Structure 1
């Protein structure tokens, strides 16, 4: 015992070693009395070296030594039997009375005759680590809340503002107008508002106003009675009635005709509807959420949309920014779409290469999140290396300056070959294109650079029959 204490007190190298080690170190003699105590232990336990020397290690009251509390007598401690204590997480009593979370391990010290002459113990304070872990868990929880709301995935500041508006709007029944380009997630926002509002246990009914003609949309929204028109063989409940107590989401609200605008205004003002073909008024209790990719104010100014309806709809407006204005969300969205696509395939994709991600970040995304989702799905078809590479991406993303291949001249009717831009499309040119392609709407869309849905809209607008 005197040998080890003498060595510690008189060996400058050992003293320097103890002082420089960041973890707490203390040494016991064979009677369990503390004979050395480094500065790190002073900081951890609160006892100075002078006041702790000669004390039993029992003063630290470790709650976990060989699966039991610290014994009062060193002879009862397992260290003399087993020769060591593997790193163990436990509690230590501080001088001021509070407990600390630490890890400790211990080894016996033997002389050349293999006789135990002491015990050295090392203690690591886990307080900061525990606090950091709690902060990380809290940050992860909050990040999950901030980055996802009702299926909307985002961390950018502009989208955090949207989340704030969504949460604020859920506290009332105010009519909401969601504005944003196609593919920005307007339907997801409507769903999020409904899912966190007081009507969440009631139905959410969605209608795309651009997909139906005026008469069909009227019947779909308001319902009809038997005999109201040819083919009305029975009474039918409309979507407004189906949504009673819940929410109705009217997408592409900018596409409705003046007649439907008047009927919708009455619904907003009086909270009642009439089925097509009857005069009975039916009270409804619904929340109305609308969305558009158009500038409704411009349509009001041009006389295409009722001003009184516009102001009724935009009691609480929410604007969804295009993806090009929230590019910090792209990596988050990419990971999400990789995960969702992995659920559909056997060979899993682990991630995306840096060049491919850079191409995503550099691209302008005219189709917004919908286009991004399609690009990931496209990449899954081509990907063979468990990681999406730049050659797996659609051509327009790999090289935004590259224009899709030219249309074969022999396929273009001379009467319509001067069409250079979708905005130059007229009723006559569209009819010529349809005739030239045998009424193939997909081919017409490809030639003029529009979606097939847009061609359908133009046909509906100009009363062009769907078939020749």
Structure 2
């Protein structure tokens, strides 16, 4: 019979193979005694190869083997009879006493005469995978809470993909690059990433890189020592140091100069900073999230942004779509901002008319979500009823095509008030609506599809009194 122990000990190729495999591998002779134990097995179990001499795998106390706990002898194991153990998720007992989550499988080894000469077993450590899974589950739970609180409002598939990226970022500490047009909510996404990540209990510091010139931005980011420049009357801690242990969000990262780009590259690569006017290097532990409303790759191609820094920043890129590419989210966003404004003001608006919502759906939203929020704010200034009408919206949104009654079916809508659409306004019609609305010019405007200012002009033109 072939001596498998001798083969393993003398065959250099087999020895190198066992040492290089990332999974734990151990080999038993036909009597169940361990005769080979690779370095990965030492790492997983805590036992060195010299410590397992003449032992069986029983000392590892695998929690499951052929649907039962580890047996007393190799004959009771079942491996000799069945010839294999299919991959099984279980626990083994570490040298220090704690359980290690692993996947285990095994095969018998036979010679050319079909005699069993040994057993090879493979063990995969699932600890990191389990931890990552737990982090993802925790991130999902926290993101759900964040959405419930109104942090990010969306139901479209394209935004669900963004949510997936946000959740995935919680399981790592990679540098994040958020790209999207102005007003798409890049700072909101950065806040969500920080709020569900491992650093959530530490500070998040936000810096708008376009708001400060290079000299002030350098001091703002890195701090300075007394006397570093005119006006530096005392030492000052920079924003990177303030965020130690937490997150730094650099908005409009494309605006930083080549000099600041070099310094930022050192922060990311070496995790250290130097205050302005000081040669001492200070270690910091931060996660960097950046954002901009341009295509950073095109800036690299144009030579205005360092390529090495670009690749450091885009380890985990997230693209935020403009609102015009996710219009199914508009009714949800409108409801959210109406609810927010009701909380802040004495007005109690219940919904939005179909014509007004149709105008929202038809509009291109160059200013994205920020513009939509401002449009609702504008409507609340003019709105004097329980519903937002077309005439309450900003001029650029009130397009002629929005006058047609929309068929949008939305739970936040109340029934459209019955009123003439495209009705020709005459003095008689104007007086009729003024009497019905108790001389409320905004209400008359809603009924005939005109602004309140237009109603005033017609009243002046036809010498209609401003009060009854």
TM tier, shorter chain? 0.5 to 0.7
CA drift at 1:320: 0.2
Please tell me whether the aligned partners of residues 153 and 333 of structure 1 are also in contact (alpha carbons under 8 angstroms). Answer: yes
Structure 2 equivalent of residue 212 of structure 1: 212
Q: Secondary structure at the match of 1:343?
A: helix
Q: Say if 2:313 is the partner of 1:313.
A: yes
Give me the whole-angstrom Cα distance separating, in 1, the residues matched to 2:387 and 2:144. 25
Where in structure 2 are the equivalents of 1:406-425 lying within 5 Å?
Answer: none
Structure 1 equivalent of residue 112 of structure 2: none
Give me the whole-angstrom Cα distance separating, in 2, the residues matched to 1:264 and 1:326. 34
**Distance change in 2, residues 1:168/1:182 (3 Å):** same
Q: Say if 2:401 is the partner of 1:398.
A: no
Please tell me whether the aligned partners of residues 204 and 248 of structure 2 are also in contact (alpha carbons under 8 angstroms). Answer: yes
CA drift at 1:385: 1.5
**Distance change in 2, residues 1:361/1:150 (3 Å):** closer
Structure 2 equivalent of residue 335 of structure 1: 335
Q: Say if 2:196 is the partner of 1:193.
A: no
Q: Secondary structure at the match of 1:182?
A: coil
**Distance change in 2, residues 1:397/1:314 (3 Å):** same
Where in structure 2 are the equivalents of 1:183-262 lying within 5 Å?
Answer: 183-262=183-262
Please tell me whether the aligned partners of residues 179 and 292 of structure 2 are also in contact (alpha carbons under 8 angstroms). Answer: yes
Give me the whole-angstrom Cα distance separating, in 1, the residues matched to 2:345 and 2:245. 40
CA drift at 1:143: 12
Q: Say if 2:377 is the partner of 1:377.
A: yes
Deviation track 1:268-301 (CA, whole Å, cap 9, x = no partner) reads: 1110000000000000000000000011000000
**Distance change in 2, residues 1:149/1:299 (3 Å):** farther
CA drift at 1:345: 1.2
Deviation track 1:311-364 (CA, whole Å, cap 9, x = no partner) reads: 000000000000000000001100110011111211211111010001000100
Q: Say if 2:172 is the partner of 1:172.
A: yes
CA drift at 1:144: 6.1
Please tell me whether the aligned partners of residues 146 and 160 of structure 1 are also in contact (alpha carbons under 8 angstroms). Answer: no
Unaligned runs of at least 5 residues, structure 2: 1-140, 403-468
Bigger Cα Rg: 1
**Distance change in 2, residues 1:144/1:271 (3 Å):** closer
Please tell me whether the aligned partners of residues 178 and 317 of structure 2 are also in contact (alpha carbons under 8 angstroms). Answer: yes
Please tell me whether the aligned partners of residues 150 and 195 of structure 1 are also in contact (alpha carbons under 8 angstroms). Answer: no
Give me the whole-angstrom Cα distance separating, in 1, the residues matched to 2:238 and 2:400. 45
Please tell me whether the aligned partners of residues 148 and 154 of structure 1 are also in contact (alpha carbons under 8 angstroms). Answer: no
TM-score if structure 1 supplies the norm length?
Answer: 0.54
Unaligned runs of at least 5 residues, structure 1: 1-140, 403-468
Please tell me whether the aligned partners of residues 150 and 192 of structure 1 are also in contact (alpha carbons under 8 angstroms). Answer: no
Give me the whole-angstrom Cα distance separating, in 2, the residues matched to 1:149 and 1:348. 20
CA drift at 1:149: 7.8
Give me the whole-angstrom Cα distance separating, in 1, the residues matched to 2:303 and 2:345. 50
Please tell me whether the aligned partners of residues 273 and 283 of structure 2 are also in contact (alpha carbons under 8 angstroms). Answer: yes
**Distance change in 2, residues 1:163/1:332 (3 Å):** same
Give me the whole-angstrom Cα distance separating, in 1, the residues matched to 2:272 and 2:150. 30
Deviation track 1:28-81 (CA, whole Å, cap 9, x = no partner) reads: xxxxxxxxxxxxxxxxxxxxxxxxxxxxxxxxxxxxxxxxxxxxxxxxxxxxxx
Where in structure 2 are the equivalents of 1:98-109 lying within 5 Å?
Answer: none
Please tell me whether the aligned partners of residues 143 and 192 of structure 2 are also in contact (alpha carbons under 8 angstroms). Answer: no
Q: Secondary structure at the match of 1:178?
A: strand
**Distance change in 2, residues 1:169/1:302 (3 Å):** same
Give me the whole-angstrom Cα distance separating, in 1, the residues matched to 2:387 and 2:156. 25
**Distance change in 2, residues 1:319/1:150 (3 Å):** farther
How big is the alpha-carbon RMSD for the aligned residues of Structure 1 and Structure 2? Answer: 2.0
Give me the whole-angstrom Cα distance separating, in 1, the residues matched to 2:294 and 2:394. 27
Q: Secondary structure at the match of 1:298?
A: helix
Q: Secondary structure at the match of 1:347?
A: coil
Give me the whole-angstrom Cα distance separating, in 1, the residues matched to 2:189 and 2:251. 12
Deviation track 1:125-179 (CA, whole Å, cap 9, x = no partner) reads: xxxxxxxxxxxxxxxx999669658701100000000000000011111000000
TM-score if structure 2 supplies the norm length?
Answer: 0.54
CA drift at 1:401: 9.2
Structure 1 equivalent of residue 10 of structure 2: none
Please tell me whether the aligned partners of residues 146 and 154 of structure 1 are also in contact (alpha carbons under 8 angstroms). Answer: no
**Distance change in 2, residues 1:330/1:144 (3 Å):** farther
Please tell me whether the aligned partners of residues 150 and 191 of structure 1 are also in contact (alpha carbons under 8 angstroms). Answer: no
Q: Would you identify which runs of 4 or more consecutive aligned residues in structure 1 move more than 3 Å?
A: 141-150
Give me the whole-angstrom Cα distance separating, in 2, the residues matched to 1:401 and 1:233. 61
Structure 1 equivalent of residue 368 of structure 2: 368
CA drift at 1:386: 1.5
Q: Secondary structure at the match of 1:210?
A: coil
Aligned residues: 262
Give me the whole-angstrom Cα distance separating, in 1, the residues matched to 2:175 and 2:400. 40
Give me the whole-angstrom Cα distance separating, in 2, the residues matched to 1:145 and 1:236. 37
